[in-house]
Chains A and B, each alone.
Chain A
Amino acid sequence: MKIMVAVKRVVDYAVKIRIKPDKSGVETQNVNMSMNPFCEIALEEALKIKESGLAKEVVAVTMGPSNCVDTLRTGLAMGADRGIHVEAARDLVPLSVAKVLKKLVEVENPGLLILGKQAIDDDCNQTGQMIAALLGWPQGTFASKVVLDKEKQVATVDREVDGGLETLCLDLPAVITTDLRLNQPRYATLPNIMKAKSKPIKRYTPEELNVEIKSGLEVVQVTEPPKRKAGVILSSVDELIDKLKNEAHVI
């Protein structure tokens, strides 16, 4: 079985974000970029499944401008076998990503498609669900545990939902999106980094795949949330009561 994992290049989770002066988006020039943490978890899960003998190949896919290949290299260094890069001039919205993935799935025929539950730059949490709908595949989102059964060709997924944990049984092929507690991603070891240099990366463009990537959304403005006001040190209980009554209106 082949597993396909979609990975996204995002601003590094530990970086302090700044807004561009023209408020058109987040500053990404000269900022550390890395693989989306949830995508790392997705890739780690795919590698674990491969190491347990239930899959033969792990293919990492990314979409975006040419610097996205760095993320693919990280994925290959973690242990993915092949990489696919879909070249696109700017960031794609989840629906476009899902459409492209659908075409790639038709080409590659994986038995399992694993994605991170959301990207930390847009927090959309849409791609996994959309691609499952486009393909007509079952989906197990917010997975915190995945167990595959090869004979029965099913995946048992524990989902983290608001009320607790929900266990679903999905027929393969299926789409799984990963949540934080699924696993702890491995580090890229030196031998694997060296091997990654010779692993193949195939390039596509959206036109080659016959996918229309026009976005129906336009970002009008991006602003910072209002700054937290400084606290005030009060000198007596009377003053506190006065402020609670007259300023905060809570008593």
Chain B
Amino acid sequence: MEKWRATTNLRRSLKSILNRQLKFRYLNEKRSCQSSFNLIRDCKSLGQVNAIQHRCFSSASTLVQRNPSFSTLNSDDISYFKGLLGEKSVIQDEDRLETVNTDWMHKYKGSSKLLLLPRSTEEVAQILRYCNSRCLAVVPQGGNTGLVGGSVPVFDEVIVNVSSMTNIISFDKVSGILVCEAGCILENLISFLDNQGFIMPLDLGAKGSCQIGGNVSTNAGGLRLVRYGSLHGNVLGLEAVLANGDVLDMLGTLRKDNTGYDLKHLFIGSEGSLGIVTKVSILTPPKLSSVNIAFLACNDYSSCQKLLMEAKRKLGEILSAFEFLDTEAMNLVLHQLDGVRNPLPASMHNFYILIETTGSDESYNREKLEAFLLSSMEGGLISDGVLAQDINQASSFWRIREGVPEALMKAGAVYKYDLSLPVEKMYDLVDDMRIRLGDLATVVGYGHLGDGNLHLNVSAPEYDDKILEQIEPYVYEWTSKHRGSISAEHGLGLMKANKIYYSKSTETVQTMASIKKLLDPNGILNPYKVLPHSLNS
């Protein structure tokens, strides 16, 4: 934290020039990829090539220096990769590189000169063995839908993208165990399993682009966690390649296997910094026929909490999702997205809750849900609500909840925070932030209430450091005070690499650093991310 403050002072002069340019460009051009690319080129011309602030459009991050111990790519390297993978899998084309160098939120942009598309574990192993021997930094990449800058290069790291590894290796219809390669897109897996009568245990808004390898590497949470638990429970095995090219085959398909240390858990959630996941074996739940979904309105946050408690008790085993959004989130979605209408148009309520139940018996589950809703309504917990009568209506409810991140992107600049907090305290933070920010920005709160996960988003027409100063480090300190997590499911990536101490003790982080040193002594895998920069030698 001290180091962050010190570097802020150093950067001030550079930043004031940047900000003036930034505001000029923003006002004159539509905010697009193009303007940020030009800006970054201008940054380079201002002097320091190796120590530029990468988040040009956004907030203060620590000043990252390119690690001088990493080599730079040369033509011999390119020839080697071309010989290993073939011409088609070695990409140096500028346009394609622009896309893979930029993250989904257009907040982070690297300057990698090389994209590799291996098609098998063996190719990944050989790539890493070579890069390790040459000390070339590598960024593992999948669907590139991460929200903390963990999937794009910071400088000129080589991008190893597993999108070409899309085989479904096997599926056991009896046990529901699916074995597939890391590049399989989540939505494709969901469709495949649908034909077999199963579903994936995780579901997120990014399912059309995100890949299972990335989901596992970031321990993605999503909408169904309250029912099916986290990936730590559902992933039965995985195959990963270490920095030196060794392939760890832990691709078990057994529910129970207590033989030694369960190393796969290290890779689940390590965001590609300990190894590249190449295959995954995952337990999939059977697809149950009866899905019901209700969209409800509550007057205040304490009703939302009581509703959650009641839902867990009365709906019990059939509850499969419990999400909430506040009025500002609803307004944003209705304004920014097409084809979305408010299911409860009578008046604007303060909080909206989406409850989904999944079970095997249609009439029994429906009655259970209706009885629960009736008693909640009579008890004053819900002020209004609707129950979906067919699949279309159900999708439209989900569209509202899943559309909030998209609506925020369209509304302009957004500061995203993903926090785990005790359920009673969760919304207090949103109220506090509203007071702190006043008219500067709109504070939007939504998230997985069932898991105690708040997605706090601050939306403003443009990025502005005045806004950022009010948010950070206040949000992190607030979360830390309540022993919450500063990153519930998004991970640390680049954005929160130095913030880990808000949620983990020094000794814990030291042990993490030792493990990293053990598995990746040259530090070539996804450098500058996850762990604090001060721990790198």
Query: Is B532's beta carbon under 8 Å from chain A?
Result: no
Binds A, one of B29-37, B98-106, B381-389, B520-528: B381-389
Residues of A within 8 A of B194 (CB): 16
Query: Is B373's beta carbon under 8 Å from chain A?
Result: yes
Interface of chain A residues 1 through 17 with chain B (CB within 8 A): 12-16
Query: Is B510's beta carbon under 8 Å from chain A?
Result: no
Interface of chain B residues 305 through 359 with chain A (CB within 8 A): 341, 343-344
Interface residues of A: mostly helix, strand, loop or mixed?
A: mixed
**Which of A30, A184, A187, A188 contacts B289 (CB under 8 A)?**
A30
Residues of A within 8 A of B377 (CB): 190-191, 194
Interface of chain A residues 188 through 207 with chain B (CB within 8 A): 188-191, 193-194
**Which of A16, A30, A187 contacts B388 (CB under 8 A)?**
A187
**Which of B341, B373, B389, B391 contacts A190 (CB under 8 A)?**
B373
The docked-state distance in angstroms from the alpha carbon of A77 to that of B389 is: 10
Residues of A within 8 A of B373 (CB): 190, 193
B191 to A: closest C-beta gap in Å? 9
Residues of B within 8 A of A13 (CB): 390-392
B189 to A: closest C-beta gap in Å? 16
A190 with B382: CB separation less than 8 A = yes
A188 with B387: CB separation less than 8 A = yes
**Which of B374, B391, B393, B395 contacts A187 (CB under 8 A)?**
B393
Query: Is A61's beta carbon under 8 Å from chain B?
Result: no
Residues of A within 8 A of B289 (CB): 30, 32
A190 with B390: CB separation less than 8 A = no
A12 with B385: CB separation less than 8 A = no
B389 with A34: CB separation less than 8 A = yes
A35 with B382: CB separation less than 8 A = no
Residues of A in contact, count (CB < 8 Å) = 20
The docked-state distance in angstroms from the alpha carbon of A74 to that of B341 is: 20
Interface of chain B residues 412 through 459 with chain A (CB within 8 A): none
The docked-state distance in angstroms from the alpha carbon of A206 to that of B295 is: 39
Nearest residue (CB) in B for A193 is B387
Nearest residue (CB) in B for A78 is B389
Residues of B within 8 A of A77 (CB): 387, 389
**Which of A12, A74, A184, A187 contacts B386 (CB under 8 A)?**
A187
Query: Is B370's beta carbon under 8 Å from chain A?
Result: yes
B307 to A: closest C-beta gap in Å? 13
A34 with B390: CB separation less than 8 A = yes
A43 to B: closest C-beta gap in Å? 11
Residues of A within 8 A of B388 (CB): 187
Nearest residue (CB) in B for A32 is B391
A193 with B390: CB separation less than 8 A = no
A233 to B: closest C-beta gap in Å? 13
Residues of B within 8 A of A189 (CB): 344, 384-386
A12 with B390: CB separation less than 8 A = yes
Nearest residue (CB) in A for B382 is A190
The docked-state distance in angstroms from the alpha carbon of A16 to that of B191 is: 11
Most buried by A among B296, B343, B388, B392: B392
A249 to B: closest C-beta gap in Å? 33
Interface of chain B residues 145 through 169 with chain A (CB within 8 A): none
Residues of A within 8 A of B393 (CB): 187
Residues of B within 8 A of A194 (CB): 374, 377
Interface of chain B residues 281 through 312 with chain A (CB within 8 A): 289, 294-296
Residues of B within 8 A of A34 (CB): 389-391
B387 with A12: CB separation less than 8 A = no
The docked-state distance in angstroms from the alpha carbon of A14 to that of B391 is: 6
Contacts A32-B289, A184-B341; is A190 near B392 (CB within 8 Å)? no
The docked-state distance in angstroms from the alpha carbon of A140 to that of B386 is: 32
- Give the interface of A toward B (CB within 8 A): 12-16, 30, 32, 34-35, 37, 74, 77, 184, 187-191, 193-194
- Give the interface of B toward A (CB within 8 A): 194, 289, 294-296, 341, 343-344, 370, 373-374, 377, 382, 384-393, 395
Q: Can you list 19 residue pairs at the A/B interface with Cβ under 8 Å?
A: A14-B390, A14-B391, A14-B392, A14-B395, A16-B194, A34-B389, A34-B390, A35-B389, A35-B390, A188-B387, A189-B344, A189-B386, A190-B294, A190-B374, A190-B384, A190-B387, A191-B377, A193-B370, A194-B377
A77-B387, A190-B373 given; name 12 further pairs at CB < 8 Å. A14-B391, A14-B392, A30-B289, A34-B389, A34-B391, A184-B341, A187-B343, A187-B387, A189-B385, A190-B382, A193-B387, A194-B377
Shortest Cβ-Cβ A-B pairs, 4 listed: A34-B390, A14-B391, A187-B386, A190-B385
